[in-house]
Amino acid sequence: MDSFLTLIQVLDSTVRLATPLLLACLAGLYSERAGIFDIGLEGKMLMAAFFSAAVAAVTGSVWLGLLAGIAASLVLSALHGLASITFRGNQLISGVAINFLAAGLTVLIAQDWFQQGGRTPSLFAGGRFEPITFPFSEALSGVPIIGPIYSELLSGHSILVYVAFLMVPATWWVLFRTRFGLRLRAVGENPAAVDTAGVSVVGLRYAAVAICGVLCGIAGAYLATGLQAGFVKDMTAGRGFIALAALIFAKWRPWHAMWACLLFGLLQAVALRFQNIDLGGVVIPVQAMDALPYILTVVILAGFVGKAIPPKAGGEPYVKER
């Protein structure tokens, strides 16, 4: 029974750690399905994390913090859209610039506002998302197997965790069961055909970039006000790049993206739970366990998990024929 409880606790941590990855992965899914490659997910999450924590610390309202995080992410999304859609600039360079901009600005503004070495004040009740307890979870906690699954694994997460996982079927429905989703996917494959049909390619791509900004904003806000209790320098710790690797691993499909993010979350949870693992006299240091998600990222991006074919028009600016 102890081993089963340990498994439930690891899976519980997996869900929590996979949540920001899943939101960022779905954000990249919308953007890249529309033909806009976005490696600036990291920067958008970081900027959202800072402004959500800063506003929550000043106002004491986590909901105002969430709105501030989404707004900050949308500003960076607008910059990326302006550079890559309106001015037809290089999408990769624009994403890199956003990452550098966010990394520098967050620390600079945090130091100017709070004078705590680039941090925000710690968040307390009202400034953080509180866990949601399901009905009868306490009464069922003692029931073998079912109790721990219901009360520990399913119950007790913040609302943003449930929003993230509900976004998976919602994204599948939007992309594959609506006219908007059909047009969005068509823009990423053949924008000229969409334009010929009288649909605005620029409008659809901006819509995709805006959705990407909202989801990155929620992901960053969750990091600072749900998973942790405030902002610290570079707190995203490469999660935006891991989300991109998960997106490639999932071959730009929502349900596969969820499982890929859960895999990365599991690796992070195992690294946090089990340190200096002893395998028959061979001790695996904690540093090696911490590096597992990033090693898997390199493996995926190197193409060792099978060929992933991106949208055909991805990364290419659309120039309307006259």
The residue count of the chain comes to: 322
- Is pLDDT of 12 > 60? yes
Residue 17 and residue 302: Cα distance in Å, rounded? 24
Cα 178–chain centre separation: 24
Residue 42 and residue 26: Cα distance in Å, rounded? 13
- Is pLDDT of 276 > 70? no
| Residue 295: both structure tokens together | 């090693």
Q: Which domains does the chain have, with CATH numbers?
A: 2-301 (1.10.3470)
- Over residues 16-30, the mean pLDDT reads 96
Residue 81 and residue 284: Cα distance in Å, rounded? 44
Q: Which of 65-79, 199-213, 276-290 has the lowest mean pLDDT?
A: 276-290
- Is pLDDT of 56 > 80? yes
Asked whether the whole model's pTM tops 0.85, one would answer yes
Q: Where are any strands of DSSP class E within the chain?
A: 277-279, 282-284
pLDDT at 270: 83
Closest by CA position to 105, among listed 150, 50, 158: 50
Residue 107 and residue 99: Cα distance in Å, rounded? 13
| Residue 207: both structure tokens together | 């819509």
Residue % of the chain over a pLDDT of 70: 93
- Is pLDDT of 239 > 70? yes
pLDDT digits (tens, 9 = 90+) for 98-111: 999 999 999 999 99
Closest by CA position to 129, among listed 149, 156, 104: 156
Q: Which of 17-21, 104-108, 242-246, 277-281 has the lowest mean pLDDT?
A: 277-281
b/e burial code for range 284-311 (CB count within 10 A of at least 16 → b): eeeeebeebbbebbeebeeeeeeeeebb
pLDDT digits (tens, 9 = 90+) for 119-154: 999 988 888 999 998 887 877 777 888 888 888 888
pLDDT at 118: 86
- Is pLDDT of 322 > 70? no
Residue 76 and residue 102: Cα distance in Å, rounded? 9
Supply the mean pLDDT for the chain. 88
Closest by CA position to 299, among listed 271, 267, 255, 270: 267
Residue 231 and residue 111: Cα distance in Å, rounded? 12
pLDDT band per the 50, 70, 90 thresholds, residue 1:
low
pLDDT at 297: 73
Residue % of the chain over a pLDDT of 90: 59
Residue 103 and residue 99: Cα distance in Å, rounded? 6
Residue 146 and residue 143: Cα distance in Å, rounded? 6
More confident residue, 69 or 276: 69
pLDDT at 206: 96
pLDDT at 296: 75
pLDDT band per the 50, 70, 90 thresholds, residue 267:
confident
Q: What SS3 string covers 81-150? A: HHHHHHCCCCHHHHHHHHHHHHHHHHHHHHHHHHCCCCCCCCCCECCECCCECCCCHHHHCCCCCHHHHH
- Over residues 6-23, the mean pLDDT reads 92
- Over residues 296-310, the mean pLDDT reads 70
Distances (CA, A) of 135 to 119, 154, 163: 37, 11, 19
More confident residue, 170 or 277: 170
Helix (H) or strand (E) holding 151: none
pLDDT at 209: 96
Q: Which of 86-95, 192-201, 307-316 has the lowest mean pLDDT?
A: 307-316
